[in-house]
Every structure is written in structure tokens, then in C-alpha cells.
Structure 1
Amino acid sequence: MQQQPPTIDDIRGAAARIEGNVVRTPMLVSRTLSEIVGAEIWLKFENLQFTAAYKERGALNKLLQLTEEERSKGVIAASAGNHAQAVAYHGKRLGIPVTIVMPEPTPTIKVTQTESHGAKVILHGPMFDDAYARARELSLEQGFHFVHPFDDAQIVAGAGTLGLEMLEDAPDLDTIVVPIGGGGLMSGVSIAARALKPGIELIGVEAELYPSMKCAVDGCQLPLGGDTLAEGIAVKAPGQLTSRILRELLDDIMLVPERDLERAVAMLVGIEKTVVEGAGAAGLAAILSDPKRFAGKKVATILCGGNIDTHLLANVLVRDLVRQGRIARLRVAAEDRPGALALITQQFHEAGVNIIETNHSRIFTSLPAKDTVIEVECEARDAKAIDDVVSRLEAVGFKVERASLD
């Protein structure tokens, strides 16, 4: 049978059901981001849930409505991480055996955190769709109750409790911007928001590499696939239920490139001092990518997850410094003679730029055999200082090339 979308009463019921067992997360105005965008920017800090993601809401609402027989047999889920942790955590609390099937490339932090909640983790396949298929097979073979990450009315209703909280905290919102993977979060928020404030603008956001819901809603065909920072919303096929809901309720779906996702993650660390994964930062990335669209409005977005690998986060932050011009790699062509390196380092000293690392390349270069390329990785207080050192190097006769991320 075709599932029916949850109603506002279902969402209110979910809110009562899960109250006290999930965090009633804060929603705050970001003064700095508001100034940058030229709008009043509200952030819903769902990364402050115990498992660092909003998925707890839907998972708990679902688990609390299982029969005693379903609980005793156990549940199984397929997830890239956040849904897995939510089901595992609340399953353990409720005494329900949990098995999770994850794609093989799932970040280690998400695997270990899921296992720490007592779940049995099975790694299978390169993509979510492969893990999903295996979980479905095991559900049939072993009698586990399958807990879908997004295409389930009870999951959607749980996610919709966010919409209730957001409009309770900021009833004058003009626009809500929400990341979309399979569409469960956006569906729940849309149902709640349309019921409470019919004229509110609802905008979904997908990673540019995975525009699956946009294609489902708009009937378009766009390239799909690639390695995205927002692996939590890297879904090839959105839900049937969620697609129907969003086709009816959504105003638009924006696509954001990887560069904007990286920028949003870095800005949230730098400005809000909060850690958000790529998928969780997608809403802010969309707002920052088109500030004119949101100028003068009261806009809210959900920081829906904070589970990012620390090494990946470090890379994102350093890459952002490169884009700001505060870290650079310069390739300086020079004669391979005594004093050349000293003259080069002198220019860095006079410009007040710190040298992090140097490397001589005498072999793999198109320069004459008597010449060398000296690569210098450096850091400075601002982009102007890097420009200054380049000018100084060129003024004393060196040819300089700057490495670029783009």
C-alpha cells in the first residue's frame, strides 16, 4: 500500500512522544552571518543532539511505535552514519537489538560511534544504495524490522518536530532552508511549516553532485555521482513518499558545489565555533552562494549533523585558509647557486610572511639544468602579505607561480 504523508497532528504526536528523550536544541540568530548575507540568519543547532544529528527524532518516534514482537526480533537499518547512530543509540536505550548496514567508505568515526552504542555493524558496497539492498535482504532473511532512514511516515513525522520548534522560537520567519538527501527532514519540516504558516518560503538544498530530489521534483535529468563532502545527503534515489510530499509543498531546490560546502563548514567553525559536517552545512552554503535572494528576509537553516572526520575537517579548514590567501604555495624559479635560497627567504622575512616548508626540485622541471624550482609553503596574516612577498621576489629577479585549489 502507498504510504500516506503524516499530518500536523502526527507531527505533534511525535513531539509529545519523544519529548525529554531528544535535545530541544537552540535556535539562535547569527549576527556575523546576518551581516555577511544582509539578512536575519537563524541557525537551528541540531548538531548538539547526543549523537550530533537530527536523525534521533525520527528514529525514536519509529522505535516507540513498534509492537512487542517487532522489538523482540530486533531492527535493521541502512545508513551512511547519522541514522545508524540514532537507531543504535535509542535501540539500546529501549532494549531493542540493532543491526546496521553501512557503505564501505563510511567515515571511521561514524562506524566506531555506531558500534559504541551496541549495534552490530556490517559494511557492504560502495554506496548507500548497496547497503540499503543488503539491509533489505537481511530483514527478510532474519525477520528484522526495517527502519528506513527517510521514506517512512513515522520517520518523517519525527523529523517534522523540528519545524514546530523552529516556528515556535521564530514565528516571523520568511524562509526555511533545509538540506535534502532522501528528503525525510525537508518533508517533515515542510508539512509542519505549511500547517503553521502557509505562506512561508521552503527551499531545499542538495549537493551539486547528487541532485536526485531536484530531478524527481522538477522532472529533469542531471549528472549524478562523485565524491562529495556532504556524504550524508549523497543519495542516488530519493524516497517515493518524500518525493510526493516535496513535489507538493516545496518552493525550490538549490544545488551547491563542493567549494561552497567547504566554505560553509569553515565559516561555522570560525564564526559560530561549532563543528558541522558537509551535509549539515548545506543550507548555509546555499544562503551564502546567493545572498541577494535572501536579502532583507528572516531566514532559518538547520545544522542537521556534526559528525565529520577530524582529519577531513582539518583539511577543509586549511583549504579555506588557502582560498582566503592566508596560506600559499609558491614555485620560485632560481639559479642553483649559493645564496639563492638566502635571497628568497630574505623577501619572506621582509614581507612578514612565515615559511612553513621548502622543497628543491632539480630533476622534475622544464628549467635548464643549472636552475632549480624552490617550492615554498607559507602562511601570513592576510592575502595582502602574500601578494607583497610575490612582488618582492619578482622585483629581485625571480619568476613566481602560485598553486591554486580551483
Structure 2
Amino acid sequence: MPLHLQTPLFESGAMSARDGQSVWLKMEAMQPPGSFKIRGIGFACEEYVRRGATRFISSSGGNAGIAAAYAGRRLGVPVVVVVPETTTERARELIARENAQVIVHGASFQEANALAQSMVTGADAFIHPFDDPLLWQGHASMIDEVAAAGVKPDAVVLSVGGGGLLCGVVEGLRRNGWNDVPVVAVETVGADSFAQSIAAGERIELPGISSIATSLGARKVAEQAFAYAREHPVRSIVVSDADAVRACLRFIDDHRVVVEPACGASLAVAYDAAGSLAQYKNVLAIVCGGVTATVGQLQKWAGN
């Protein structure tokens, strides 16, 4: 039995009431650890156990670490998660709740990731938060579920941090014969390494992350994500933190589910489907989730 759940897929009445356009929500926020991350990370962890791993070491500022810790607990494998100093106390608590060891190190993900990798021994498996083909293979299962439900989208809207979700969705589209379905990749200002890389024609590294959407805070996207921008129809959109937070709060009212600003970025575009997505009749929005923000924090960000 896989560590992830088959998540609900339904048409959003709040987003779809425009000229016959349908916006479908793939509710990855309903996964047990709170985000889509468990699909790929769970798949990878199971594979690494089959290969003989007796400990997982992960680097993450939040959701990937929570997913790795959850997978380790379910599989009976100890987990160490190295997080940067910017990781919220809530995220640290959620990782520790899954019985993982939390090590705080460095001012950014890069420093935490370097320490995590230096700790790996021959008996360990390193669980990267976004840059591992096993992750993409696992994430692709969400598109398999959409295909099995008989819904073929005209476009898929998703958030981009390091690019793991993007890679997984493109892999899922390809293995279901949907090579023609474009991906609308959304980031926030200050965490937009993917958009800046596309504009520059090469992968660039941000000097830092200034967005509150810290789960999108990879200063440099995965090489495969950048490659897919050239091989698959991908459109990049950047929204403000304020837009992302407003979408999160609206989503609570409309669908009674709390997600973090990293997810709110793509929801902001989905809510404006009559604008930037007007050309598509069936839009699939990946509600990637995230558990590092609370209702109170969202309201504080919104100035309420």
C-alpha cells in the first residue's frame, strides 16, 4: 500500500462560473503530511528501503522534511532532517512530531542541504526535497489519477519552487499521452528563480529569497525543470505575496481547506482564470497544500 492517498478531484464552483470554463482541483493538501510531497518522497523512501537503506537524511525548510519524517515513521526507518534557520518553529514541530531528528543549520536551504549531504553514509539514503527522478516518478501518480477519472485538462496550473512538482506533472502528462497539455508554472516575486531562468535562457541562482512563500524558496531550480521548459509547453507567471495570501484566505472560505502561500500562488492564477487562463476550457489546478502556515499567520500577512 503506498504511503500517499488517492486525493479528491472535483470541479470548483467558486472558480468555474465563467462562460462554461471548468476549473478542476486536485486536492493534494489532503495528503496525511499535508502536501503533495509524500507522493514522490514516499515512493523514493520505499525504493531506498528496498535497496537496503537503514536511515533517511533529508534537507528541507518544511513540507519535504515533514513528508520524509512521515514516510520514515510509517516504514520504521529513522530520519534526520536538516533545516535552515529560516524554518518556522511550526515546521520544526511538525517534523519532530513524526519522531524525526531535527537539526537546524545555516541561513538558507543551500547550507542545510550541504550539511545533510555531508552526513550521508553507505547505510543511508539522501532524500532531496525536489531534485530526484524517483520523486518525479512518484509525483506523476497524481496525473495518473486525473486520467483514470476521465478528466483531460487543457492546461495544468501549479506552483514552482525547486521544480519537483513541475517535473512530476510533466512526467505524468507524458506517460498518459498528454504531451500537448501545457503547464502554467506560478511563483511569487522574490522566489522566482524559474521565471528568471527562463527569461535569461539559463539557470540562474537568486542571491536570496525575499518572498513569504518560503516553500518556493529554492534559489536555483532543478536542471530537469529548466529542461522541461524547453521540451514541453510551459508558461511562467509570477504573482505577488499579497495575491498568494488573498487566494489562500479565499480558498478557506470557498473550500474549507488551509493552504500556505506557496500553494496560494497557483490558486491566485486559478481564481483569475477568466484572465490569464481564459483560452482554456478545462483547467486543472494542483492544490499542492503545505502545512507551515496557519489561519492566524495568513490573516497577519494580509493585515487583518
Both structures adopt the same fold (TM-score exceeding 0.5): yes
Could you tell me which amino acid in structure 2 is paired with residue 78 of structure 1? S
Amino acid aligned to 1:301: A
CA drift of 1:247 comes to: 3.0
| Alignment partner of 1:258 out of 241, 251, 261 | 241
Instruction: Confirm whether residue 302 of structure 1 aligns to residue 283 of structure 2.
Output: no
Q: How far has the Cα of 1:68 moved from its partner? A: 5.8
8 Å contact kept, 1:99–1:120 = yes
Q: Among 273, 298, 302, which residue is 1:313 paired with?
A: 298
- Among 147, 153, 174, which residue is 1:173 paired with? 153
Q: Distance in 1 between matches of 2:207 and 2:252?
A: 29
Conserved in 2, the CA contact under 8 Å of 1:37 and 1:287? no
SS in 2 for 1:253: strand
Computed over aligned residues only, the root mean square deviation of the Cα atoms, in angstroms, reads 2.3
Matches of 2:18 and 2:88, distance apart in 1: 32
Match among 107, 111, 132 for residue 126 of structure 1: 107
Q: Distance in 1 between matches of 2:64 and 2:276?
A: 32
Change beyond 3 A, Cα 1:274–1:119: same
CA–CA separation in structure 1 for the residues paired with 2:59 and 2:206: 24
Give a deviation string over 1:266-322, Cα, whole Å, max 9, x none. 110111111011112221112345632322521111111231333312314x53x6x
Q: Separation in 2 of the partners of 1:259 and 1:116?
A: 31
* Structure 2 counterpart SS, 1:241: helix
- Map of 1:90 onto structure 2: 71
Check conservation: 1:194, 1:200, Cα contact below 8 A: no
Give % identity: 28
Question: Contact 1:52 / 1:307 at 8 angstroms: preserved in 2?
Answer: yes
1:43 is aligned to: 25
Describe the SS at the equivalent of 1:145: strand
Higher relative contact order (CA 8 A, sep 6+): 2
Tell me the residue number matched to 1:249.
232
Q: CA deviation at 1:243?
A: 2.5
In structure 1, distance between residues paired with 2:222 and 2:209: 20
Q: Which amino acid aligns with 2:268?
A: A
Secondary structure, counterpart of 1:96 in structure 2: coil
Q: Counterpart of 2:135?
A: 155
State how many pairs are aligned. 299
Q: Structure 2 vs 1, CA of residues 223 and 90 (structure 1 numbering), >3 Å: closer, same or farther? A: closer
Shift of 1:67: 4.9
Alignment of 1:261-300 (within 5 A): 261-289=244-272, 291-295=274-278, 297-300=281-284
Q: How far apart are residue 223 of structure 1 and its match? A: 6.6
Q: Which amino acid aligns with 1:173?
A: P
Contact 1:37 1:294 in 2 (8 A): no
- Report SS of the residue matched to 2:57: strand
Superposition map of 1:339-350 within 5 A: none
Distance 2:64 2:19 in 1: 31
Aligned-partner SS, 2:130: coil
**CA–CA distance in structure 2, aligned partners of residues 170 and 280 of structure 1:** 25
In structure 2, distance between residues paired with 1:267 and 1:85: 25
For 1:240 and 1:151, locate their aligned partners in 2 and report how far apart those are by CA, in whole Å. Answer: 8
Structure 1 residue 78 corresponds to structure 2 residue 59:
yes
Retained in 1: the 8 A contact 2:29–2:287? yes
For residue 23 of structure 1, what is the amino acid of its counterpart? L
Pick which of 186-195 and 147-156 moved more: 186-195
Q: Which amino acid aligns with 1:64?
A: E
Report which stretch shifted further, 32-41 or 270-279: 32-41
- Counterpart among 86, 96, 101 of residue 82 in structure 2: 101
- Distance (whole Å) between structure 1 residues aligned to residue 297 and residue 150 of structure 2: 34
1:95 and 1:308 mapped to 2: Cα distance? Answer: 25
CA contact (8 A) 1:26 1:44 kept: yes
Moved more, 231-240 or 30-39: 30-39
1:195/1:145 Cα in 2 relative to 1: closer, same or farther (>3 Å)? closer
> What's the TM-score once normalised by structure 2's chain length?
0.90
Pairwise CA distance, 1:246: 3.7
Amino acid at match of 2:300: N
How far apart are residue 208 of structure 1 and its match? Answer: 1.9
Distance 1:198 1:104 in 2: 40
Q: Deviations over 1:245-274 (max 9, x none)?
A: 343124211111112111111110111111
Aligned residues of 1:264 and 1:282 also touching (Cα < 8 A): yes
1:69 Cα deviation from its structure 2 partner: 6.8
Q: Which AA in structure 1 matches 2:158?
A: V
